[in-house]
Amino acid sequence: MLRVGVVGASGYVGGETLRLLLHHPEVEVAQATSRRYAGEFVYRVHPNLRGMTELKFMDVDVDRLAECDIVFMATPHGASARLTPKLLEVGLKVIDLSADFRLKDESAYPRWYGWHHPAPELLSEAVYGLPELHRREIAKARLVACPGCMAASAILALAPVVRAGLVDLERIVVDAKMGSSGSGATATLASIHAERFGVVRPYAPAGHRHVAEIEQELGALCGKPLKVGMTAHAVNIVRGILSTIHTYPVGELELRKLWQVYREAYGDEPFVRLVRDKKGIYRLPDPKVVFGTNFCDIGFELDKHAGRLVLFSAMDNLMKGAAGQAVQCLNIMLGVDEKTGLDFPGFHPA
């Protein structure tokens, strides 16, 4: 059985990764690291895992991690760039959930993240971990860089119409609404209950870091540069993202054509669902429906009056936006069914 380790396992993404891996039939969780909680039982930090494991957190040690086969990096931005080269050097494969290897252009890191990349030679090798676009490359990779959660939401919604040349590449606006778990497990004044509860708060009105990934991946799809505007909001939910994306068709566009394009793109995808219903409460994507799942729900609407094509994308930021996506990539790397350890619906009501 494959031995896996999770570095940075005490955060929300690390805990969700552990939850999935502990019940994965193809792997054994051998190590979970946390400098802050080294020596403490995992279930004391992640109480949902009580009775599921007696694993204790340990400090980061490359020699001990070398006993694993694959390591998941659930670390803050900047940490993986320093540690991952050492892990690759001793023969491990790495699935990175941070931003450290997502961007191909070395010069993009000072602009979007404020630091110079310490291992730029690995940027061209790292495979962007979005299976719907890079399944073949992921299967052969030794370093997978999982997408940012809002980037994954936007890219999956936009990819079919961008690839088909249906929208103006200079006028794409992503309006993303994010649950509080997207801020991580480290408290700030903005994230305490008294300040966070009840808000619909714009927190990145322009220049969000995930724009770099969105433009990189969609530009590669259509073979030319494109421009994306993005505004992020903190909203009063714990988990989930809803991206409402405003685009402008380049010619006459009908619903029949949209259904055709999206079905061709995602008809065989196990974790993308098209949601545009005429009945029921949830007629378009809603994060509430995908809590705890690896699904991304995508919908669309034509606004003939204003000449818009509005896209909707909902996912759980800790699952398809992070840990679930990483486990899906693991399954591809192992050559097993992509749904392994991920094939379950969400809760209703939630």
Residue 338 DSSP label:
T
Q: CA–CA distance from 185 to each of 94, 253, 270, 325 (Å)?
A: 23, 44, 30, 20
Other residues' Cβ atoms within 10 Å of the Cβ of residue 69: 17
Sheet arrangement for strand 27-33? 27-33, 2-7, 70-73, 93-96, 143-145, 127-128
- Catalytic: which of 68, 146, 149, 329? 149
**Count of positions (residues) in the chain:** 350
Contacts of 8 (CB under 8 A, 6+ apart): 14, 33, 34, 73, 74, 75, 76, 79
**DSSP per-residue letters across 223-240:** TS---EEEEEEEES-SS-
Give me 55's structure tokens.
Answer: 């694993």
User: Strand pairing of 308-315 and 296-303?
Assistant: antiparallel
Distance between CA 112 and CA 215 in Å, rounded?
Answer: 13
68 is catalytic: no
Whole-angstrom distance, CA of residue 54 vs CA of residue 160? 45
Phi and psi at residue 94, to the nearest 5°: -130, 130
Q: How many CA atoms lie within 13 A of 226 on its CB side?
A: 28
**Catalytically active residues, by annotation:** 149
